[in-house]
Structure 1
Amino acid sequence: MNIIIIEDELKTAQSLEKIILDIKPSAKITGRYQSVEESVEGLSNNAQPDLMFMDIQLADGLCFEIFKAVKITCPVIFCTAYDEYSMEALKSNGVDYVLKPFSKSDIQEAFRKVDELKNFFQQKVMPDLNDLLLKLGGPPAGKTSFLVFKNQKYTTVQTDDIAFFYIRNDSTSIMCFDKQEYALNQSLDQIAGAVSAKQFFRVSRQYLVNFKAIKEVEHYFLRKLYVKLVIETPEKLLINKEKSSGFLSWMEER
């Protein structure tokens, strides 16, 4: 099996390669690319691999730009720190969506899905999206409530009542639509992986916002987007140009 790794973090790429070769000793890593530009050039001038591992946010943009420039016929396993691109990934030959930091068991599970769909991939025909979602178990529904502790009491907060999660003084907090605030023990990365990717979007490293909390979006300097919520936030919510297209697609898919 010939495999290509597209990952802009060198240590992550090396770790992934080691795990792949531990699981599939007969596999060959035939390409290692770190950017959209490098990937397009490499894939244009070389034969398609049997499988591709691909990070979504690369140094010079989102990996989906690669699909616009090169026809990719092999299955793709997406490895990323963000969960908001799962639907777009499934439309781009995606057979699995592995969140960082990943483990060996995560990659083993991804290979299992590839093996199950092997006959399909040999035909090199994209399936109906709904059928593919069914084969992969479908996107996670998302966590419906969070246990919080405040004023010496435990209570639960419904996820639908949360306007946004954010990092404050190096800890994670919840801000509800009624402006009640609660501290959480989980990291924002853990929360992003637990809630529905359809309902919440990671606009930055500090903020994870509910779709219902978005009041309006404006263009900002340097091709950024300025997101205004129904509840005022301590800082301006700015989405960089690399994530802006993904954010607008997320808003549109409803």
Structure 2
Amino acid sequence: MNILIIEDEIKTAKSLAQIITSIRPEAKIVATIQSVERAVLYLSENTQPDLIFMDIQLSDGLCFQIFESVKVVPPVIFCTAYDNYAIEAFKANGIDYLLKPFKKEHIESALDKLSNLRSYFSAEKPLVPDLELLLKKLGEPDGKKSFLVFNKNKYMTVKTESIAFFYIHNESTCIVTFDQHEYSISQPLEEIQNIVQSSQFYRLNRQYLINFEAVKEVEHYFSRKLFVKLTVPTAEKLLLGKEKVSSFLNWLENR
């Protein structure tokens, strides 16, 4: 069995490789990769492995960017220090989600799961996890509850439920609350999108991630776009492209 390890911490990658080969001596670690960019290049130019062990936060971004750039065929076992990405992981070929620091028995259990799945499904059926069982095991994440900000020489927390929207200003991410206070934070908007509840926040465009509770009204606009008005003022007119209209209206209706 050929295995690819995508992990930006070199010591962790070496330890993981040793554990895997101690459990499955016949396994071959074909490569160890530290970044999204190199992973995309490897998967594009080489025969894809039988299995991938993948960290979520890599040296140059979140691993989910890999799936946006190249078709990933093999199943993936995610190994991460964060428990906020479980849903995204299972949508991205995930068959297990291991939290660091992991132990040998955790890796062995994940490999056994892969073997059991392969035995269960016929060659004609896709290799997919039992999502109901996995989600029941993990529990659906509630999303990040608060954000730490630095304001007036003091650290303070802002509850996620009090945030009307996140937006990018001068290449920095900012929080705007319902009472119209604004704070800068270090996380990129892509990361925030993955750690808040998708049923509560929607990525309107490249600049704005909005809270459902902040939506005041929605109007039709030119070229089949939508004009979204919030209860809190925004610097720009919030326009939604026609390609996202269906997704946005579905979010409004079925959250």
Q: What TM-score comes out, normalization by structure 1 length?
A: 0.64
Alpha-carbon distance between aligned partners in 2 of 1:90 and 1:48, rounded to the nearest angstrom = 19
| 1:225 and 1:240 in contact (8 A); partners too | yes
Query: Are positions 1:216 and 2:160 aligned together?
Result: no
Aligned residue runs from structure 1 range 125-144, under 5 A:
125=126, 127=128, 132-136=130-134, 138-141=136-139
Question: Structure 1 counterpart of 2:26, which letter?
Answer: S
Q: What is the Cα deviation at residue 239 of structure 1? A: 2.4
Q: What is the Cα deviation at residue 245 of structure 1? A: 3.7
| 1:5 and 1:33 in contact (8 A); partners too | yes
Q: What is the Cα deviation at residue 28 of structure 1? A: 0.2
Query: Are positions 1:84 and 2:84 aligned together?
Result: yes
Q: 1:243 aligns with which of 181, 191, 196?
A: 191
Q: Cα distance 1:2–1:204, how it changes in 2: closer, same or farther (>3 A)?
A: farther
Q: With CA pairs under 8 Å and 6+ residues apart, which has the higher RCO, 1 or 2?
A: 1
Alpha-carbon distance between aligned partners in 2 of 1:32 and 1:210, rounded to the nearest angstrom = 39
| 2:75 and 2:127 in contact (8 A); partners too | no
Q: What TM-score comes out, normalization by structure 2 length?
A: 0.64
In structure 1, the residue corresponding to 2:79 is in which secondary structure? strand
Which residue in the other structure is 1:43 paired with? 43
| 1:3 and 1:53 in contact (8 A); partners too | yes
Question: Structure 1 counterpart of 2:6, which letter?
Answer: I
Which protein shows a greater Rg? 2
Per-residue Cα deviation, 1:52-75 (whole angstroms, up to 9, x for no partner)? 000111111111111112111111
Structure 1 gaps, min length 5: 142-195
- Aligned positions, number: 195
Aligned-residue Cα RMSD (Å) equals 3.4
| 2:2 and 2:30 in contact (8 A); partners too | yes
Q: What is the Cα deviation at residue 225 of structure 1? A: 3.2
Q: Cα distance 1:247–1:208, how it changes in 2: closer, same or farther (>3 A)?
A: farther
Alpha-carbon distance between aligned partners in 2 of 1:126 and 1:207, rounded to the nearest angstrom = 45
Alpha-carbon distance between aligned partners in 1 of 2:146 and 2:124, rounded to the nearest angstrom = 36
Alpha-carbon distance between aligned partners in 2 of 1:77 and 1:40, rounded to the nearest angstrom = 17
Structure 2 gaps, min length 5: 150-154, 203-250
Which residue in the other structure is 2:112 paired with? 112
